């Protein structure tokens, strides 16, 4: 298997999984989605990325280039209706619908640093949430 991820999702999995652990689970290559990649036919790819228009566009380009045999899409947050429509429409246009084996929403918009410690990877979030007089509306606005 090939693991393809964006920079955010690399940060999500890097504290949790070692390269040896990836290999134990059948992943022989792991690459950033925006890095140049060559075709590896007959190999499935597992994509782990944020649900953005740019990532969907890059995935569709990979399908058009026939880089991998099949693809398992894992998004770190729910895929919006607009992006799902864009993905479906684009795959139909290039006749690559059969490449997608499964699509998952993982709800992993955080980075685990330790078993009981995580970060939202948001700049200055601790300072904003820890103010003595912060109200709920401010906290929700930061999310």
Specify the pTM: 0.80
Residues 6+ apart with CB under 8 A from 31: 2, 3, 4, 5, 37
Please write the tens of the pLDDT for every residue from 18-75: 889 889 989 999 999 999 999 998 999 999 999 999 999 999 999 999 999 999 999 9
Q: Which residue has the higher pLDDT, 68 or 13?
A: 68
Please write the tens of the pLDDT for every residue from 121-132: 667 767 777 777
């Amino acid at each position: 298997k090939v693991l393809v991820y964006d920079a955010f999702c690399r940060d999500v999995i890097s504290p949790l999984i070692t390269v040896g652990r990836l290999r134990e689970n059948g992943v022989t290559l792991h690459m950033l989605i925006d890095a140049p990649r060559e075709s590896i036919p007959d190999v499935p790819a597992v994509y782990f990325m944020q649900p953005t228009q740019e990532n969907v566009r890059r995935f569709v380009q990979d399908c058009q280039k026939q880089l991998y045999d099949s693809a398992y899409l894992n998004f770190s947050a729910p895929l919006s209706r607009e992006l799902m429509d864009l993905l479906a429409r684009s795959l139909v246009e290039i006749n690559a619908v059969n490449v997608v084996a499964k699509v998952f929403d993982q709800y992993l918009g955080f980075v685990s640093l330790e078993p009981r410690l995580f970060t939202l990877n948001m700049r200055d979030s601790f300072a904003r949430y820890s103010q003595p007089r912060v109200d709920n509306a401010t906290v929700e606005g930061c999310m």
